[in-house]
Amino acid sequence: MQLTYERRKQLTYRFMMTPALLLMFIFIVFPAFYAFSLSLTNEALLGFAAKESSFVGLSNFERLFADPLFWNSLKVTLLFVIGSAVIGQFLLGFLSAVLLLRPIRFKAMFNAMICLPNAVPEMVVGFLWISMYASGEYGTLNRIVAWFGVDPQQWLYSFPLMAIIIVNTWRGVAFAMILLTSGLSSIPKDIYEAARVDGASDRQIFWRITIPMLMPTIFLYMFVSTVTTFAIFGLVYTLSRGGPANSTEILGIYIYNQSFTAFQLGYGASVAVVSLVVSMLIGVFYVRMFKVEV
């Protein structure tokens, strides 16, 4: 029988969807589920278990929840996400967005400068900041603080977590700024004018109009930046590899170190499961909470 136009289209759509689905399935979806099953084994790269791994039930998770290094990693990740994505990037990005919407000169130049860090590959970010944080009196940051009478510091050893938070903040200001700028400029001018006519002060306008109307954009920003920061690996790995003494060992690095430095694949997979579950929960929460339009 000859296919009608509508029927033919439906078949074409399925056919067109296949290659992308296949690729995502093989490299993302299947591995994600496979992580669950691996986490129930004692799979390893070295030693007895490397030859023949066996099912060990939930013992990886028992070990995990008793492992202070895991809790440390979770804490470090949380502080890293809150410090850089939720506070640092957001505040500086919001400030830049508000200021750059004012009638000022050199707007394009400020804009370009703030955006530049966002375009830099992770590895180069690490490279640049290692020089910034270099110890000794010739280190760039040490020279800057010397103007304020501060003695040279070993930044990556004395303040490791703060150091990576500052780097990630540096990298993400632009994203927050761009997103919030578009949110701010999509608030209709009429509303501000109406509020002025009603006699609202600048402060009242900011808290009662700008912030509530910007809420959807702020939530979108928080969601995207939280999940991206949660998934960071290369930036911290090139800067500190999780050290010194696990003080910057965010989850991604903890997984890598457990799997490919300690060669305990099963245990690494159980950490991966925790990380997957957390990010899926954030995703589902966001989608449900804000009724994402698709």
Partner 1 sequence: MAKIELIDIKKQYGDTKIVKGVTFTVEDGEFAVVVGPSGCGKSTLLRMIAGLEDITSGELRIDGKVANQVSPDKRGIAMVFQSYALYPHLTVAENIGFALTLKKHDKAEVAQRVKEAAKMLQLEDLLQRKPAELSGGQRQRVAIGRAIVKRPKVILFDEPLSNLDAKLRVQMRAELQRLHKEFGSTIVYVTHDQVEAMTMAEKIVVLNQGHISQLGKPMDLYQQPQNTFVAEFIGIPKMNLLDGEIQKNETNMFVCSNGLRIPLAANYQWTGKGIKLGIRPEHIDLADNDQWQYDVKIIERLGIETYLHLQRGKEDVIVVRLEGDHDLDIDKVSLHFPSELCRLFNEEGQVLLPNVI
Partner 2 sequence: MSIASNAITTNGTSQKMTKSQFKTYLTLILISLYCMVPFIWVVLASVDPKASQFLKIPESVSMDHYWNLFANQSGLRWILNSIVINVSATIIALVFAGFGGYAISRTKAWWKLPLLYAIILVRIVPPPALIVPVYKVMLTLNDWVNALINAVFTDVATQQTMSRAFSFVDGYLGLILILAAMQLPLAIWIMKTFFDAIPIDYEESAAIDGATQWQTVRKVLIPLAMPGFAAAGLFAFINAWGDFLMPLMFTSSPELQTLPLGLFRAFLRVDAIDYGFLTALAVIYTLPAVIAFSFARKFLTQTFSGGVKG
Interface ranges with partner 1 (CB under 8 A): 1-2, 4-7
DSSP string of the chain? -PPPHHHHHHHHHHHHHHHHHHHHIIIIIHHHHHHHHHTTB---SSSHHHHS--B-TTHHHHHHHH-HHHHHHHHHHHHHIIIIIIIIIHHHHHHHHHHHTSS-SSHHHHHHHHHHHHHS-HHHHHHHHHHHT--STTSHHHHHHHTTTPPP--HHHHSHHHHHHHHHHHHHHHHHHHHHHHHHHTS-HHHHHHHHHTT--HHHHIIIIIHHHHHHHHHHHHHHHHHHHHT--HHHHHHTTT-STTTT--HHHHHHIIIIIS--HHHHHHHHHHHHHHHHHHHHHHHHHTT---
Part in contact with partner 2 (CB under 8 A); list of ranges 155-163, 191-199, 205-213, 268-276 = 268-276
Nearer to partner 2, 71 or 260 (CB): 260
Instruction: By CB under 8 A, tell whether 160 contacts partner 2.
Output: no
Instruction: By CB under 8 A, tell whether 284 contacts partner 2.
Output: yes
Instruction: By CB under 8 A, tell whether 119 contacts partner 2.
Output: yes
197 binds, among partner 2, partner 1, none (CB under 5 to 8 A by kind): none
Nearer to partner 2, 110 or 200 (CB): 110
Nearer to partner 1, 9 or 75 (CB): 9
Restricting to residues 75-94, name those near partner 2 by CB under 8 A.
92
Among 233, 243, 246, 247, contact with partner 2 (rule: CB under 8 A):
233
CB of 66 to partner 2, least distance (A): 21
131 binds, among partner 1, partner 2, none (CB under 5 to 8 A by kind): partner 2
Instruction: By CB under 8 A, tell whether 58 contacts partner 2.
Output: no
Which amino acid makes up residue 37?
S
Binding flags for partner 2, 127-146, as an x/- string (CB under 8 A): xxxxxx-x-x-xxx--xx--
CB of 208 to partner 2, least distance (A): 19
Nearer to partner 2, 48 or 106 (CB): 106
Distance CA 223, CA 176 (A): 11
Distance CA 224, CA 178 (A): 13
CB of 120 to partner 1, least distance (A): 36
Token pair for residue 49? 């278990």
179 binds, among partner 1, partner 2, none (CB under 5 to 8 A by kind): partner 2
Report the C-alpha dihedral over residues 103, 105, 108, 109, rounded to 10 degrees: -140
Among 1, 2, 28, 51, contact with partner 2 (rule: CB under 8 A):
28
Nearer to partner 1, 3 or 50 (CB): 3
Part in contact with partner 2 (CB under 8 A); list of ranges 65-73, 149-157, 190-198, 253-261 = 253-261
